[in-house]
């Protein structure tokens, strides 16, 4: 063993508190359980055809490099970038698409760079940590509104307009939400939200991380499924869920892309994605564009899961959701961990979500559905849950 300086007492104390609350995070080991935990909704991460097609595509183009070699502004903007961004922009019916290394990088880069001093950012209280971190790095003022409560949002907008009028300022208001919330799996009423933001002349921004591959005929996301894309200033779409790979894209105007290239620090100061990563993104998008059969299979599994919730009298436990994320509220870290352990012992990979990841009293079992889950597996895991309870 190599001697190391001890952890500072203040940090050790924080870890001890986590242990006392039964909330200490630890990295899980690999397992062979039936998957109800991963975000690989369409099974793309395990798709051998996509893997082979990506390799063949790279060989066909004569691209054999393992890395990008630098940031995109230096040496890392290899030829696959503009090809893939153009395809994604066309797929999402957007003037422009700018690739980032991850959804976290995209959200931090966007929200730290776009809203300016004197601007307001009004965000749903359940927005992802990456959005919150980007807002904290911004010079704008950030305020949260109650989850999917647009009356509360309008009150905040009116307060912001009042403050701007008093100072005779010409600043902007950005409204931020998600199309599918990662812990509840529910969706906002986007038609109503568009009406509110149009009425008050605000800039509307949405994170579609958990909607890609889930909503729409081609899995294009909830915004396009509803035909509302022209009303959004920016859509942030990540690839680590339905696309089964890595990276993210900011969809918006060409001017927005140019601005982010110049001012988003998480874009400017990082090595670009490797050619293999960008090729995987492009090939996965082409599978969506070809109406991959897994999209329809996933929709069938979501419908069946909701039907089985009712059959086993479990519906009152679950947050209402028509997405691939289904959460059963089971308060108490110890309680939800114990039930998750019973399901895991029966061979089901179901993860407990503990406080402080969610508020105390809102601890839950989070079921992620996939195109490759069978109806029998869904029935069995819900029967097991009802037995545990």
| CATH number, domain with residue 149 | 3.40.640.10
Phi, psi torsion values for 365, nearest 5 degrees: -95, 130
Give 279's contacts (C-beta < 8 A, 6+ positions apart): 54, 57, 58, 63, 80, 84
pLDDT of residue 29: 86
What angle do helix axes 333-345 and 375-388 make, rounded to 10 degrees? 130
Our count of domains for the chain comes to 2
190 is a domain residue: yes
Same domain assignment for residues 216 and 74: yes
> Tokens in use for 209?
């991380």
Same domain assignment for residues 327 and 345: yes
Phi, psi torsion values for 351, nearest 5 degrees: -100, 140
Same domain assignment for residues 297 and 277: no
pLDDT, one tens digit for every residue, the chain (389 residues):
677 889 999 999 999 999 999 889 899 888 899 999 999 999 999 999 999 999 999 999 999 999 999 999 999 999 999 999 999 999 999 999 999 999 999 999 999 999 999 999 999 999 999 999 999 999 999 999 999 999 999 999 999 988 877 766 679 999 999 999 999 999 999 999 999 999 999 999 999 999 999 999 999 999 999 999 999 999 999 999 999 999 999 999 999 999 999 999 999 999 999 999 999 999 999 999 999 999 999 999 999 999 999 999 999 999 999 999 999 999 999 999 999 999 999 999 999 999 999 999 999 999 999 999 999 999 999 999 999 98
218 is a domain residue: yes
Same domain assignment for residues 158 and 212: yes
Same domain assignment for residues 268 and 201: yes
DSSP string, 216-279: STTS--HHHHTT-GGG-SEEEEESSSTT-S--EEEEE-HHHHHHHHHH-HHHHTSBPPPHHHHH
Same domain assignment for residues 82 and 229: yes
CB atoms under 10 Å from CB of 341, counted, come to 13
| Interstrand relation of 141-145 and 351-353 (parallel, antiparallel or unpaired) | unpaired
Same domain assignment for residues 254 and 122: yes
Same domain assignment for residues 338 and 258: no
17 is a domain residue: no
d(CA 298, CA 318): 19
Same domain assignment for residues 244 and 128: yes
Q: Looking at 262, 290, 318, which one is the last position of a domain?
A: 290
pLDDT of residue 167: 65
Same domain assignment for residues 77 and 221: yes
């Amino acid at each position: 063993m190599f001697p190391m300086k001890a952890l500072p007492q203040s940090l050790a104390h924080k870890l001890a508190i986590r242990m006392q609350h039964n909330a200490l995070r630890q990295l899980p080991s690999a397992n062979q359980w039936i998957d109800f935990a991963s975000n690989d909704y369409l099974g793309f991460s395990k798709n051998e055809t996509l893997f082979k097609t990506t390799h063949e595509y790279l060989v066909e183009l004569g691209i054999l490099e393992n890395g990008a070699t630098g940031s995109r502004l230096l040496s890392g903007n290899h030829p696959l970038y503009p090809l893939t961004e153009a395809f994604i922009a066309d797929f999402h019916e957007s003037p422009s698409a700018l690739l980032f290394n991850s959804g976290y990088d995209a959200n931090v880069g966007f929200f730290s760079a776009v809203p300016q001093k004197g601007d307001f950012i009004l965000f749903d209280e359940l927005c992802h940590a990456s959005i919150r971190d980007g807002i904290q790095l911004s010079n704008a003022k950030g305020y949260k509104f109650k989850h999917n409560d647009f009356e509360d949002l309008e009150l905040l907008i009116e307060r912001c307009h009042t403050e701007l009028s008093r100072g005779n300022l010409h600043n902007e208001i950005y409204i931020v939400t998600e199309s599918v919330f990662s812990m509840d799996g529910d969706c906002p009423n986007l038609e109503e939200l568009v009406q509110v933001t149009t009425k008050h002349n605000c800039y509307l921004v949405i994170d579609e991380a958990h909607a890609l591959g889930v909503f729409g005929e081609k899995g294009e996301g909830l915004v396009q499924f509803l035909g509302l894309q022209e009303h959004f200033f920016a859509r942030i779409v990540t690839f680590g869920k339905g696309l089964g790979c890595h990276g993210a894209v900011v969809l918006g105007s060409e001017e927005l892309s140019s601005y982010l290239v110049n001012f988003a620090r998480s874009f400017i100061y990082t090595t670009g994605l490797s050619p293999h990563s960008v090729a995987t993104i492009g090939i996965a998008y082409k599978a969506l564009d070809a109406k991959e059969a897994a999209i329809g299979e996933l929709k069938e599994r979501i419908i069946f899961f909701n039907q089985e919730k009712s059959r086993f009298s479990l519906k009152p436990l679950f947050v209402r959701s028509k997405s691939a994320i289904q959460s059963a509220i089971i308060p108490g870290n110890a309680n939800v961990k114990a039930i998750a352990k019973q399901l895991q012992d029966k061979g089901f990979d179901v993860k407990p979500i503990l406080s402080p990841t969610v508020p105390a009293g809102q601890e839950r079992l989070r079921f992620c559905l996939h195109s490759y889950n069978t109806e029998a597996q869904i029935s069995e895991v819900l029967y097991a849950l009802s037995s545990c309870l």
